[in-house]
Structure 1
Amino acid sequence: MRAASPDRRRRAVAITAAIAFATVTLLSLTSPWRLFEARLFDYFSTVMPPPLPADGPVVIAIDEPSFAELGLQWPWPRDVHARLVEALRQAGASAIGLDIIFAEPSNEQADAALADAMGSDVTLAADVTRIETAQADQVIRVEPIPSLIEGGARAGLSSIVLDRDGTLRRLPPYPDGFAATILESIGADAPATPPGALIQTFGPSRTYPTISYYQALDPETFLPPDTLRGRIAIVGLSLQSAPTVEGGGADAYATSWTPRTGRLIAGAELQATILDNLRHGLFIRPAPFAAVIAANLLGAMLAAYAVWGATGWRTIAGSLLAVGVFAVGYFLLLRFGRIHFPPLGPTLAFVGTALAQGAQDYASERKLRKSVTRAFSQYLSPALVEKLARDPSRLKLGGEKRTITILFCDVRGFTTIAESMKDDPEKLTALVNRLLNPLSEAVLEAGGTIDKYIGDAIMAFWNAPLDDPDHAVHAVEAGLAMIRAVEPLNRELAAEAGNGAPIRFAIGVGVNTGECVVGNMGSDRRFDYSALGDAVNLASRLEGRTKDYGTPLLVGDETARHIRDRIDLVEVDRISVKGKAEAVTVWTVASLMGARPIAAVETEAPGIANLKAVP
């Protein structure tokens, strides 16, 4: 039975933290991990999102009412789009983005009308398609028909890049993207964006001001004055009823809001969001990989510090607190620092270290409790064993100095009894056990620790391994209980003997108190929890002298000093003991003498001299 040393446990904590850090770092390279981090971004980036910029674009929606009002089948004639461009320009729009790809010629007159409407304030959508084959990957760029570009319009790539789960979270990697080209048309430079920059969304579908296409064709009739003045107009498909993830929709995509709403967002509105991210620098930068690794290490180190001394309910509370702190820190960094620093790694590094070490400590504690229970169940009462098992730290292994009270009990005349039964050793063993059982019960019920059995003798002590302020009283009470326990056994033996000569037991008990060394005594392979010291030797001597004074119990002077206010004592004698230069005073319990200790008395009981009552 051995508790882990502090150094050994600290090494275990350090190893656990290192394993947690390495595991989290390796897992962070996997696709499922990154998907989970993306989901965290979806949730946190949509909690209390920043307000929509006041000067943001207006979406001109090709929607259901427009189809109904115009009565046209898609694709609409391009002269209709020409009319829209002119109407928006006259309404004061600062720039116009047509999120429609005019890649093939159509009606010649309609194409010419649209080309005539083009100008430097118009941006048209282009596209890139990546075709992957076994031989090679081919990138095909789809541009507007030349006549539109020759008319003064610009072309910008409206292609977007979806994450592996089909969700749009990142700014397009193209320097000539659709939104960036619109900004160029108004003289604003799009800032350089770091690789993998994330889009800050402002709300679910239809968050941006949206005007039906047919209304924008005749703004004087359908719109309040100056609705479009100074605003960027982005034209594209945008249904009034946002399509669902299950149903899908043309030019509609999942964004960070989709997990909350279950709805897709129109491409035109996404282009408006990308434009505001670029124009106002609202995009979110991903934290460098090295910083993420450092955060994982920090999480593991903080957990190691938290469990460096011990684990317990505080470990669970600390882990929950760490989860909350990392989550709040991530939200604040995301919202105000515009940095995506995933909290999953440091959180799991902290929780993994704390819980793994907690599990190790729990297993070690259970093992120690079992060891304590196994080691002391034969020597302590069940209640004391349970207390010791619940708190093994109360047992100082390896030896300690303590003031204890020691009891020795031996059977008088046992040699004669053994000699008479030498031909039946099994019966002798059973007889000894019948006596030792009640004697042991008396010790355990009084809260004592049975040190050992020496043939027919018992050694026990109190105030170790658990504290017992009344150890001297409990030891003497145990001795009295042992003396009383002999008589019922003697009656049983007399009844069993019938007309034969019965075996009759008598015992002697010696009790003494003093400072001893208590702990595991023995070798590395076999040891016992025992006590050593001069007080132990004196208790053994007192037990041996009981037969000289005709009393079954003798108590040392130090024990008497502890109990004289609780138990009536009688001074028996001052005796010389082997190993002691001076005589020691010995006492017995007054009730055993049949006298009350209220005055000096003398007795004619055989073998007793100089009896004096306690003053």
Structure 2
Amino acid sequence: MINYYGPDGSQQSDSVGVFPTVSYEEVIDDSGYTTVFEKELDFGVNTFDDPMIGHLSQGTFEDKIVIVGSSMPTLRDFYSTPFAGDEKLLPGYQIHANAIQTILDSNYIERFRGWYSLLIMLVFCFLITLTNRFANATYGWVLALFLGGGYMFLTYWVFVNLNIMMFLTGPMLAVFVTQVGMVSYEYYVEQKEKRRIRGMFSSYVSPELVNQMIESGEEPQLGGEEKYITAFFSDIVSFSTFSEKLEAKELVQLINEYLSAMTEILNTREGTLDKYIGDAIVSFFGAPVFVKDHALQACISSQLMHKKLAELRTKWEEDGWPEIVVNMQHRIGINTGEMVTGNMGSSRRFNYTMMGDNVNLAARCESGAKQYGVFTMVTEATKQEAEKFGNDCVFRLLDNIVVKGRTQPVKVYEIADLREDADDKLFECINFYEEGMELYFNQEWDEAISKFKKSAELERHEPNPSNIFIERCEMMKEDPPGDDWNGVFIMKSK
């Protein structure tokens, strides 16, 4: 390769000086040749053999290598070189001059060995890959720019000072392609992870919660994490009777329609489906993504589910389903407290679920609602937590009980209705009922019975809490509990 010394007539070499250009007219202008210029002057100025100024006397060509070439544009003997681009081409004889001078000076350009360049490319690729994998794409781009810029400066310095030409395109492409490839790969992995999380939880939680989990960039803590959440249990009343009255195909159709409608409400209110146990729905609010008003959302969900079931009953009646289906009811139990959520099961098959004493208490509320003739029973913890975020639900105290399997008493409440749907009759009923409860806890049985009878007249359905407490007050009159009675009722069954 030619080691060019510079543009035409502007660069000098320390060992040989400039590459001078002598016009051919000056060479043929001797004493035997009269040029046009000499004719115009009327005297001869021989530029070649004049003893004072001629090239012979000056030694212009003495011990020199002379290249004869053309600079006429019409001959088109012009070419691009590293010092001459499209706007200023270099005459062909100048290229020969640079080539000859390169040989005379032994000023050769050496090529960088190919396997060295390959090694540099591999190192660059490795560094960028590690940076993107263990840091992030931002640091990867910074490193790519640093490596690319540093390598370009190195190739320039090595060429100028050591006459070594390093391969520039390969390493630069390696840096660029590796960085773009890693960013593309990380983007693909991120999208794949988003799809995995969305697919994993779309059957359990609402799309809004799934998107919140993905956008947060935080993996849900699977494998056992204690959280303050709300457990939710629902079950169809006397479902075994349905199995006796309906054919298997009809039963599956009915349950699928019911579960689809109820689960849609849970997802809409940011609940998480745990599992179906036959006709029963087990779910929770507040995990895997935190929902600050989880208790309120659970309470509202229960009432929306009751309203939806009423709509379904009307539809089923129009569709000609038997009376048992048209009169379907379900009961709901809710409790709020510390529970463990995570992937639980075997190493090959597991389920994202919840467990703990507070989960069992929610299940006891669902089954215990039957004893009070209500369809939704919640604990005091749920009521208090829900009321921190709004008064959307109308609560009334049911009892202070010790459920089966526990020793500590807990106050339980009915969600009578959503406040926006409650009428004056309901509030009047609850007012009489609460007055009766106060008398009941004070062991003023006759006065309590009087209040409960007034609330019983306003109750929406049979049986109801008012009638339950009328019977209990009658029983307490016959067998008084004693002065040390604390109002706790111990449930003997689940």
CA 1:315–1:483 in structure 2 vs 1: closer, same or farther (change >3 Å)?
Answer: farther
* Amino acid across the alignment from 1:88: H
1:344 aligns with 2:169: yes
How many residues align structurally?
Answer: 417
The offset of 1:577, in angstroms, is 2.5
SS at match of 1:256: coil
How do residues 469-484 of structure 1 correspond to structure 2 at under 5 angstroms?
Answer: 469-484=292-307
**Matched residue, 1:145:** none
The offset of 1:236, in angstroms, is 3.0
CA 1:352–1:273 in structure 2 vs 1: closer, same or farther (change >3 Å)?
Answer: same
CA contact (8 A) 2:303 2:417 kept: no
CA 1:284–1:466 in structure 2 vs 1: closer, same or farther (change >3 Å)?
Answer: farther
Q: How far apart in 2 are the matches of 1:294 and 1:348? A: 14
The offset of 1:582, in angstroms, is 1.1
* Amino acid across the alignment from 1:606: N
How do residues 163-562 of structure 1 correspond to structure 2 at under 5 angstroms?
Answer: 235-241=67-73, 249=77, 255-257=81-83, 260=86, 263=89, 265-268=91-94, 270-271=96-97, 275=101, 287=112, 292=117, 295-309=120-134, 311-312=136-137, 315=140, 319=144, 322-331=147-156, 334=159, 340-389=165-214, 393-421=218-246, 424-497=247-320, 503-562=326-385
Per-residue Cα deviation, 1:572-600 (whole angstroms, up to 9, x for no partner): 32221334221122233354793388895
Moved more, 83-92 or 430-439: 83-92
SS at match of 1:547: helix
The offset of 1:512, in angstroms, is 1.5
CA contact (8 A) 2:205 2:267 kept: yes
Per-residue Cα deviation, 1:20-47 (whole angstroms, up to 9, x for no partner): xxxxxxxxxxxxxxxxxx9xx99xx99x
**Matched residue, 1:607:** 468
Q: How far apart in 2 are the matches of 1:475 and 1:500? A: 30
Give the one of 88, 98, 103 matched to 2:55. Answer: 88
1:59 aligns with 2:20: yes
Q: How far apart in 2 are the matches of 1:418 and 1:346? A: 73
Q: How far apart in 1 are the matches of 2:435 and 2:328? A: 30
The offset of 1:355, in angstroms, is 3.7
**Matched residue, 2:64:** 123
Give the one of 571, 575, 578 matched to 2:404. Answer: 578
The offset of 1:324, in angstroms, is 4.5
Q: How far apart in 2 are the matches of 1:305 and 1:499? A: 67
TM-score normalised by the chain length of structure 2: 0.69
TM-score normalised by the chain length of structure 1: 0.57
The offset of 1:435, in angstroms, is 1.7
Q: How far apart in 2 are the matches of 1:468 and 1:347? A: 49
Q: How far apart in 2 are the matches of 1:564 and 1:446? A: 16
CA contact (8 A) 2:29 2:48 kept: no
Q: How far apart in 2 are the matches of 1:320 and 1:239? A: 44
* Amino acid across the alignment from 1:488: E
SS at match of 1:606: helix
Q: How far apart in 2 are the matches of 1:348 and 1:302? A: 15
CA 1:328–1:461 in structure 2 vs 1: closer, same or farther (change >3 Å)?
Answer: farther
CA contact (8 A) 2:49 2:56 kept: no
Q: Which structure carries more relative contact order (alpha carbon 8 Å, separation 6+)?
A: 1
- Structure 1: 5+ residue runs without aligned partners? 1-37, 73-79, 97-120, 125-233
Q: How far apart in 2 are the matches of 1:363 and 1:322? A: 25
CA contact (8 A) 1:242 1:263 kept: no
The offset of 1:347, in angstroms, is 2.9
CA 1:499–1:342 in structure 2 vs 1: closer, same or farther (change >3 Å)?
Answer: closer
SS at match of 1:580: coil
State the identity %: 25
The offset of 1:470, in angstroms, is 1.8
- Structure 2: 5+ residue runs without aligned partners? 36-45, 437-451, 457-465, 473-486, 489-494
The offset of 1:52, in angstroms, is 2.7
SS at match of 1:468: coil
Per-residue Cα deviation, 1:417-442 (whole angstroms, up to 9, x for no partner): 22222xx1111111122222221111
* Amino acid across the alignment from 1:59: P
CA contact (8 A) 1:448 1:461 kept: yes
Per-residue Cα deviation, 1:178-197 (whole angstroms, up to 9, x for no partner): xxxxxxxxxxxxxxxxxxxx
The offset of 1:482, in angstroms, is 1.0
Q: How far apart in 2 are the matches of 1:445 and 1:67? A: 101
Per-residue Cα deviation, 1:49-97 (whole angstroms, up to 9, x for no partner): 9x7349841432566998999899xxxxxxx99859993353475xx4x
Q: How far apart in 1 are the matches of 2:83 and 2:75? A: 13
How do residues 16-55 of structure 1 correspond to structure 2 at under 5 angstroms?
Answer: 52-53=11-12
Q: How far apart in 1 are the matches of 2:222 and 2:83? A: 61
The offset of 1:285, in angstroms, is 6.0
CA contact (8 A) 2:343 2:352 kept: yes
CA contact (8 A) 2:285 2:298 kept: yes
Q: How far apart in 2 are the matches of 1:64 and 1:557? A: 115
CA contact (8 A) 1:411 1:508 kept: yes
The offset of 1:466, in angstroms, is 1.8
CA 1:438–1:524 in structure 2 vs 1: closer, same or farther (change >3 Å)?
Answer: same
CA 1:432–1:257 in structure 2 vs 1: closer, same or farther (change >3 Å)?
Answer: same
CA contact (8 A) 1:518 1:530 kept: yes
CA contact (8 A) 2:26 2:48 kept: no
Moved more, 478-487 or 325-334: 325-334
